[in-house]
Amino acid sequence: MSIKEISGGVTAAAGFMAAGVHAGVKKNADKKDMALIFCEGEAVCGGVFTQNKFAAAPVNWSRGVNAGGSARAIIVNSGNANACTGEQGAADAAKMAETAGAALGIPAGQVLVCSTGVIGVQMPMDVILSGIDACAAALSHDGAADAAQAIMTTDLCSKECAVQYEYQGKTITVGGMAKGSGMIHPNMATMLCFITTDLAIEPAALQQAVSEAADATFNMVTVDGDTSTNDTMLVLAGGAAANGPVQAGGEGYAEFLAALTLVAGRLAKLMAYDGEGATKLLECTVSGAADIKDARLAAKAVVGSSLVKAAFFGEDANWGRIICAAGYSGAQFDPANVNLTLQSAAGAIQLMANGGGLAFDEEVAAKILKEREIAILLDLGAGDAEAVAWGCDLSHEYVSINADYRS
C-alpha cells in the first residue's frame, strides 16, 4: 500500500468543514481562540482521553458522546480548560454542545466538546456562546488552517497533517490537527488532536484503530512528564468515500490503521519539536527488544529523563544518562548486549557496543549534537521488537514559560 502526504488538515477529507475565530477568551485580539469541525453527513467517532483523575468537564461530556459511537461536530475553545470547575463546568460543557448543535441543526448528543487552557477558572460563557455562533457562520471547506490556529495555547506553530491512499478503487483521505507544547506526557497532555477521514468504517473498528494509533504515537511523546486534565484525541469518519464499511481486523483495517498512525505520528512529533522552550527534537528508536511493551518502556524512559533532556540542551554526549534511563525503564534485557548510537544531519557516532563504552571523538559528537533534530538509536539485543518515542530537551526557557503561565 502506498500512502502519500498531501497538504491540508481536518478539511482535507471529503465532507468536512471547519472554522477558527477570535471570540474573546484570549485577551489578544490577534489570536484565534475557538474552533469548530463539522461533518456534513452522518459520521462515526472514536476517541481516547486523559487518564488524569481530575478529568475536565468537556472530557467527561465527550466520553459520553463517544460511547455512543457517532458524532458530527467538535467544538473547541482555547484559553480556558474548564477543569476543576464543578457542577457549573459540567453545565457549561453541555451548554456548548447544545449551542453548537442548535447552530448546526443537529442534536447536542452529536457534538463533542473540548477545552484547553488555564485550570480552575470558570468559563466566560457569554464569550463562548457568541464564539460558537461565529464559528458556525464561518464554516468553510478551507477552514482547516484557521481551526488549527484557534486551538493553540503556548504552541509556537500550528500542527496539521493529511495523507491519501487507495482502497477498493476509492481515494481515502485522512487529515488532522493537534495542539500541544507543554504539559505533555500522555497516557493521553494538554494535548488535543482531531482527525477526520472520508472512509466508511464501523464504530467498533474506528475505536480500536484510534486506541492502537494513540498507543504507538501520542502515548510515545513526552515534553515534561506532566499529564493534563484535558488530553483528548478524537476521530470522525464521515464515509463520503462510499467504500464498503471497514470492520475491525477485516479488509481495509490494516491500511486505515497505517494511514491513521502516520498522521498521528507526524502530529506527535510536531508536539515534541514545539515543546515549551525546546531547542532540540529527540527521537529515540529502541530496537532489539523482547517485545513491543519493552521497546516502548525503554524509548519513553529515555526521552522522558530530565537528565537526558538537560544533557542534550547542553549538547553534552553524556551517554551514561541514556543507558541509566533504559536500565530503570522496566524493560527486560541483558546489559551486555546493548549498543548505542547518536545521529543527526551532521553524522552518526557509536558510543556503546556490547554493553561497554567506546572511545569517541568529542568534536565529532559536539557537531552531531548542535543539530536541531537528534536521533538516539538504542539496540537492546534481546529480540526483534522496535518502538519510537519523541521528546525534547529541557531549557531555561521552559522554566520561564511555566513560571508565569497564568500572567
| Active site residue ranges | 190
Please name the residues in contact with 281: beta carbons below 8 A apart, sequence gap of 6 or more.
269, 272, 273, 372, 373, 374, 390, 392
The three three-digit cell numbers of residue 252, written as one number = 481495509
Please name the residues in contact with 304: beta carbons below 8 A apart, sequence gap of 6 or more.
185, 222, 225, 325, 389, 391
Sheet architecture: strand order including 192-197: 4-6, 159-167, 170-179, 192-197, 232-237, 44-49
DSSP 8-state secondary structure symbol assigned to residue 69: T
Nearest CA-CA partner of 339 in 353, 359, 324: 353
Q: Which residue has the cell 453548537?
A: 100
The three three-digit cell numbers of residue 134, written as one number = 461565529
Give the C-alpha separation, 208 to 257, whole Å. 9
Give the C-alpha separation, 371 to 280, whole Å. 7
- The beta-carbon contacts of 397-400 under 8 Å, at least 24 apart in sequence, are 397/276, 397/277, 398/182, 398/224, 398/275, 398/276, 398/277, 398/278, 399/277, 400/277
How would DSSP label each residue in 252-306?
THHHHHHHHHHHHHHHHHHHHHT-TT-S-EEEEEEEEESSHHHHHHHHHHHHH-H
Buried b (16+ CB within 10 A) or exposed e, 19-44: bbbbbbbbeeeeebbbbbbbbeeebb
Specify the DSSP element, H or E, that contains 149: helix 144-150
